[in-house]
Amino acid sequence: MNRLKARLRPNRRARRPQRRRNGATAQPILKSPQEIRIMRESGRVVARVHAELRQAIKPGVSTWDLDQLAAETMQKLGARSCFLGYRGFPAHTCTSINEELVHGIPNKRRVLDAGDIISIDVGVFYRGFVGDSAWTYAVGEIAPETQQLMAVTEKSLYLGIEQAVSGQRVKDVSRAVQRYVEANGMHIVREYTGHGVGRAMHESPQVLNYVAGDADGELVMQPGLVFALEPMVQLGTRLTRTLKDEWTVISKDRSMTAHFEHTIAVTNNGPEILTLP
Residue 101 interacts with Mg ion (CB under 5 A)?
A: no
| Cα 273 from Cα 228, distance rounded (Å) | 10
Q: Answer for the pair 184, 177: CB distance below 8 angstroms, yes or no.
A: no
Build a one-symbol-per-residue string for 21-40: x at contacts with Mg ion by CB under 5 A, - elsewhere. Answer: --------------------
Show Cβ contacts of residue 225 under 8 Å, excluding neighbours closer than 6 positions: 28, 30, 31, 196, 265, 266
Residue 134 interacts with Mg ion (CB under 5 A)?
A: yes
Residue 121 interacts with Mg ion (CB under 5 A)?
A: yes
Q: Answer for the pair 114, 185: CB distance below 8 angstroms, yes or no.
A: no
3-state secondary structure of 126: strand
How near is the Cβ of 93 to Mg ion at its closest, in Å? 9
Beta bridge partners of 215: none
Tell me which of 35, 99, 116, 132 binds Mg ion, using CB under 5 A: 132
How near is the Cβ of 104 to Mg ion at its closest, in Å? 13
Strand 117-126 with 80-81, pairing: antiparallel
| Cα 174 from Cα 155, distance rounded (Å) | 13
Residue 17 interacts with Mg ion (CB under 5 A)?
A: yes
Size of the site for Mg ion (CB under 5 A): 6
Instruction: Name the one range near Mg ion by CB under 5 A: 14-22, 45-53, 99-107, 112-120.
Output: 14-22
Dihedral sign for Cα 89, 191, 232, 115, please.
positive
Q: Answer for the pair 70, 49: CB distance below 8 angstroms, yes or no.
A: yes
| Cα 228 from Cα 170, distance rounded (Å) | 12
Closest CB to Mg ion among 43 and 224?
A: 43
Instruction: Name the one range near Mg ion by CB under 5 A: 95-103, 223-231, 233-241, 245-253.
Output: 223-231
Instruction: Name the one range near Mg ion by CB under 5 A: 34-42, 97-105, 108-116, 117-125.
Output: 117-125
Instruction: Name the one range near Mg ion by CB under 5 A: 15-23, 49-57, 95-103, 211-219.
Output: 15-23
Q: What Å distances lie between residue 100 and 14, 72, 95, 272, CA to CA?
A: 19, 25, 9, 29
Residue 228 interacts with Mg ion (CB under 5 A)?
A: yes
How near is the Cβ of 125 to Mg ion at its closest, in Å? 13
| Cα 221 from Cα 272, distance rounded (Å) | 13
How near is the Cβ of 119 to Mg ion at its closest, in Å? 10
3-state secondary structure of 58: coil
Instruction: Name the one range near Mg ion by CB under 5 A: 70-78, 128-136, 139-147, 151-159.
Output: 128-136
How near is the Cβ of 241 to Mg ion at its closest, in Å? 20
Segment 242 to 261, residues that bind Mg ion, using CB under 5 A: 261
Say if residue 231 is preceded by a cis peptide, omega within 30 of 0: no
Closest CB to Mg ion among 96 and 146?
A: 96
Residue 131 interacts with Mg ion (CB under 5 A)?
A: no
Instruction: Name the one range near Mg ion by CB under 5 A: 126-134, 135-143, 150-158, 207-215.
Output: 126-134
How near is the Cβ of 1 to Mg ion at its closest, in Å? 32
Report the interface residues with Mg ion, using CB under 5 A.
Answer: 17, 121, 132, 134, 228, 261
